[in-house]
Structure 1
Amino acid sequence: MTRSEPRFVDAILDWPGTWFLARLALVGAYLLGGIVKLTDWPAAVAEQAHFGMNPPYFWAALTIGIEIVGPLLILTGRLVWLGAGMLGVFTLFAAFTANAFWTMSAGQERFMATNAFFEHVGLIGGFVLVALVAERARRRA
């Protein structure tokens, strides 16, 4: 069977580091966010209060846990389905909480919230894909 992609694309896709770097690109913002929140607890609590989450201390702690544990599961290749599920549900919840564009009147704020909402949906698709790829690789091993 002949391949249709150029050789350099084939080489990139076959390189073992590509799988790790792709996962890091997907989860890096979450991991960094969790670390930043962990090192600035008052700001993490204030962020939750800003979005109306009560009690904000509980939601800040839960957010930090998800944003650190989920990426680590995906990056280490252990229980990838769980890490992807954690981050997918978290991202869906965040999209509805922080980007409720349907409640806004037309204008720049609604435009930006709409874009952010659907970017979150795209991330959720990425989490489903990383779980699928990891599961197929596990079954082949």
Structure 2
Amino acid sequence: MRTSAPRFVDAILDWRWTATLARLALVSAYLLGGIVKLAEWPAAVAEQAHFGLHPAAVWAALTIAVELVGPILILSGRLAWLGAGMLGVFTLLAAITANAFWGMPAGQARFMATNAFFEHLGLIGGFALLALLDRARRA
């Protein structure tokens, strides 16, 4: 019985850039979102107002801060647990706010919101795993 991964999997996992690229993949949507919102401030404020968050400008600024600071912490490896926690909590709040499928009538919109909600839960799991790995690395 084989107890280790195939050699090609070990080679990928041992490659010096794998961890960095995995972290970048995990935070890429947040990093891009923060940059786009910063560049298109009126649209960022309008997005917050659309979701009923007031004052919208304050929520837009907080969103941008989390979407930029969280990834920077994770990519730098400094306080990665904090960046993972920031993005995990943000993602949960965003999923509840933007994808409240439980209050929607059956149909395409509910189907899409349900999928998006559970995709966000998957991201939260990724952030929890990252925080666990960061703790193990520091121990």
Paired position in structure 1 for 2:32: 32
Q: Percent identity?
A: 75
Paired position in structure 2 for 1:94: 94
> How much has 1:137 moved relative to structure 2?
1.2
Q: Letter of the aligned partner of 1:52 in structure 2? A: G
Q: Letter of the aligned partner of 1:13 in structure 2? A: L
Three-state SS of the structure 1 residue aligned to 2:17 is helix
Provide TM-score, normalisation by structure 2. 0.97
Long gaps (5+) in structure 1:
none
Equivalent-residue separation in structure 2 for 1:47 and 1:16 (angstroms)? 39
What are the residue-to-residue correspondences of 1:1-141 with 2, within 5 Å? 3-139=3-139
Provide TM-score, normalisation by structure 1. 0.95
RMSD over equivalenced CA pairs, Å: 0.9
Three-state SS of the structure 1 residue aligned to 2:106 is coil
Equivalent-residue separation in structure 2 for 1:45 and 1:111 (angstroms)? 27
Q: How many residues are matched?
A: 138
Long gaps (5+) in structure 2:
none
> How much has 1:3 moved relative to structure 2?
4.7
Q: Deviations over 1:3-44 (max 9, x none)?
A: 532111100001121000000000000000000000110000
Three-state SS of the structure 2 residue aligned to 1:135 is helix
Equivalent-residue separation in structure 2 for 1:124 and 1:45 (angstroms)? 25
Equivalent-residue separation in structure 2 for 1:83 and 1:4 (angstroms)? 31
